[in-house]
Homo-oligomer: A and B are copies of this chain.
Amino acid sequence: MATVKLMSDEDAAAHPAVQAVFDDIRTTRGSDFINNFWRALAYDAALLKRTWEGLKAVMATPGTLDPLVREMIYIAVSTANSCQYCVHSHTAAARARGMTEAQHAELMAVIGLAAQTNHLVTAMQVPVDPEFLA
């Protein structure tokens, strides 16, 4: 259960600023589905709009990184920050963008390895090699 109310479509209809963002989410994604994250954020229309604009700019603007790669990076950060919802939602998003089981397995392996060496490095306080700072 959330610490905030999730905004229903009925309530959104009464808040034009929220409705506008919900409309844009639906148009941008070509789907009627609004997931709970946006319904939770909707209790602050300005935060909702700013967060959605940020997400569109970062995840949906054509650039040099493949959309699937961006989703895999998102999963990596969400895992390290221990965000269950985010792991679920972005794994679903990555699958929707074509992530195969083999790619998912490789993603898992890199995440696990990075965490292991991150902790080894911190526990040993390894000094940065000058070569990496060149």
Contacts and interface: CB of A to CB of B under 8 A. Distances in A.
Given A55-B113, A110-B73, A84 B128 contact: yes
B73 A123 contact: no
Given A105-B47, A116-B116, A126 B85 contact: yes
Interface string A58-85: 1100011100011011111111111111
Contacts of A37: 117, 120-121, 126
A62 B75 CA distance: 22
A118 interface: yes
19 contacts: A3-B123, A35-B131, A35-B132, A37-B117, A37-B126, A44-B105, A44-B109, A47-B108, A51-B112, A58-B110, A65-B103, A74-B113, A76-B76, A79-B119, A85-B128, A107-B123, A108-B123, A112-B119, A116-B116
